[in-house]
Chain A
Amino acid sequence: MPVFVCDSEATYSVDILAELSGVSSDTILEYHEHGLIRPVAAAALEPLYDDEAIRRLRRLDSLRKIGGMNLAGLGLVARLLDEVEQLRAERRGQP
């Protein structure tokens, strides 16, 4: 039985992120410029992203397919979903 040891602290460049998320590099840069995803390290040479960015990108991609939204719409929906999750956590007493 294979054993995978997962390192949850890995970081990825834009190109690797594109491969992992299935979203093109150009789209990633566009999302980055509009604040839809944020790099972990504001590195000098290039932005590096973590696993959370992969999850967000796939979510954005699915949202785009569901809603056919433009960038502004995507950003709004993504922020609303974040807020809902945050509010739910607060309701449980775990901010």
Chain B
Amino acid sequence: MSAQFKDYYAALGVARGASAAEIKKAFRTLARKYHPDTAADTAGAEDKFKEVNEAHEVLSDPEKRKKYDRLGSRWQEGDDFGPPPGAGAAGGQGPPQGQEFHFGGTGFSDFFEQYFSGGSRYGFSQDWEEAARAEAGEAGRARRGHDIEGDILVTLEEAMHGTLRPISLQSVNRETGHSQTHSFQVRIPPGATNGRRIRVPGQGEPGRHGGTAGDLYLRVRHAAHPDFTTRENDVLHELDVAPWEAVLGAEVVVPTLDGSIKLRIPAGTESGQTLRVRGRGLPKGKTGERGDFLVAIRVVLPTCLSDAERALWEQLRGLSSFKPRS
């Protein structure tokens, strides 16, 4: 049961050999273009937004990208593409033999779920297979089912305020063909940071010989936002300022996830400097405490100068005693 192949390079509009920087740049541009808040044409924007996020998820991760490139070349050659043996929700390194898992409602496509979702089990798939064999050797003994892991795409707004997401998990027994679908709602708490795991009890692999079922862990993946990125509970924003704003100082209106704020740029702020606004980041648990809002300053230069402007700059050059290279 193979999912349809997705061309992630085409989704981002980059060449197959694109550098990490090129991928990141393409992603930021397209995320802004299709984000629900900023998309000009909302009709196909939501699907495009998901596609762009998913492509970035795979291509920005060196391990996933390597795997994807290998998959891609095999697909071209028309290889017979069943899921790799032992494949499960954990992207090929999940529970061994017999069970196949398909997620719904996570924000990722079937293709992603089949090959890239979840963390690699303990980082080393060979060890996992060995452990499974060792445990299988204890025939007849009640064995707890394995945990499975999947990714869930969460917008920053959802991360900020929390949300209830409907998720479905279909497990297919490859030997009997019997399939079972469990649907449930997962509460994403306010302040769910990128990479945080949410445990859904008893929704993992069923136990053997009367053992209890394992758990499902959903790993939160923050969706792209045109204006913000996150780092733990801090929210990061890149702000471009004019040279005079940096030199003389200024008050600038800056967007945050919960409303705009007026930010004081102190006189003499250098490019690359970060200004910290305390307590305007993502919530930290139930205490009411929040992470910070970090503004990375980038001084950008006017390039189209009128004659009058040029004259002023030249005057400044003549007057100034500033020596950047001494």
Q: What does the 1/0 interface line of A21-53 toward B look like (CB < 8 Å)?
A: 010000000000000000000000000000110
Bound state CA distance, A62 and B185, in angstroms?
A: 29
Q: List 23 A-B contacts (CB under 8 A).
A: A1-B182, A1-B183, A2-B182, A3-B183, A4-B200, A5-B184, A6-B185, A6-B186, A6-B198, A6-B201, A7-B187, A8-B188, A8-B198, A9-B285, A54-B199, A65-B135, A66-B127, A81-B122, A85-B123, A92-B61, A92-B62, A93-B24, A94-B195
Residues of A within 8 A of B194 (CB): 94
B256 within 8 A of A: no
Check: B203 CB closer than 8 A to any chain A CB: yes
Query: Can you list, as one digit per residue, whether each of B54-68 has a CB less than 8 Å from chain A (1) or not (0)?
Result: 000000111100000
B residues less than 8 Å from A20 (CB atoms): 201
A22 lies within 8 A of B198 (CB): no
Contacts of A7 in B (CB 8 A): 187
Complex CA gap A91/B63 in Å reads 10
Q: Given known contacts A5-B164, A58-B147, A85-B119, is B203 in contact with A52 (CB within 8 Å)?
A: no
Given contacts A5-B164, A51-B198, A88-B63, 11 further A-B contacts (CB under 8 A): A2-B182, A2-B183, A3-B184, A6-B186, A8-B187, A8-B188, A66-B127, A81-B123, A89-B195, A92-B61, A95-B231
Are B187 and A5 in contact (CB-based, < 8 A)?
A: yes
Closest to B20 in A: A93
Minimum CB distance partner of B65 in chain A: A92
Pair B195/A6 contact, Cβ less than 8 Å: no
Q: Decide if B189 is an interface residue (CB 8 Å cutoff).
A: yes
Cross-interface CB contact of A6 among B20, B144, B183, B184, cutoff 8 Å: B184
**Chain B contact residue count (CB 8 A cutoff):** 41
Q: Please tell me the number of chain A residues within 8 Å of chain B, measured between CB atoms.
A: 31
Residues of A within 8 A of B (CB): 1-9, 20, 22, 51-52, 54-55, 58-59, 62-63, 65-66, 81, 84-85, 88-89, 91-95
B205 within 8 A of A: no
The answer to whether the Cβ of B286 comes within 8 Å of any Cβ in the partner chain is yes
